[in-house]
Amino acid sequence: MKVGFFLWLLNQEKLLTQDNLQRRGWNFPNHCYLCEEETETVRHLFIECKYSKEVWNGISDGTGQHWNAPLTIKEILTRKRANDLNSKGKELWNPLQVATCWCLWKARNEVYFNGNKAHTQKIVKDIKVQALLWVSGNGCFKGITCKFGVLNWKLLFFDPP
């Protein structure tokens, strides 16, 4: 339920980012908590931020897909997968996009509320684990542990030659 509501807000670009809070009358300096360089908007946080780009690139490694920055938030949520993925890769593709957005938002909030900024490699690992947990009940993932999935990420997307 929590993730579903987050996705609904994200899709409408209504998450309580600093620019949206300022539109509601909050008065404070606006800056991105992840890159500390730009103003925080939904688009910046999930598409333009150099921290987020590093995370998206980390997720793309091993999937055979190069992460090209989308033009809109909706494009992230409806991104088409490559046809050359195996059955596991096809099952994992959409949950992976959602898990990336969800974990970026949680990472942002961890900095905002607690002052704890995680290294992008930790966020990438968290995303992989989250996506694997979401698909663990699907038939093609039976018997695959999160540890195996994270350590053998590429095998989840392509069959070995």
Residue range 32-66, pLDDT digits in tens? 999 999 999 999 999 999 999 999 999 988 777 77
Distance between CA atoms of 134 and 95, rounded to whole angstroms? 7
Residue 159: phi, psi to the nearest 5? -75, 140
Distance between CA atoms of 31 and 37, rounded to whole angstroms? 7
Q: How many residues in total does the chain contain? A: 161
Section 1-27 average pLDDT = 94
Distance between CA atoms of 78 and 75, rounded to whole angstroms? 5
pLDDT of residue 28: 87
In 12-72 the beta strands, taken as DSSP E runs, fall at none
Q: What is the mean pLDDT of the chain?
A: 91
pLDDT digits (tens, 9 = 90+) for 95-104: 999 999 999 9
pLDDT of residue 161: 65
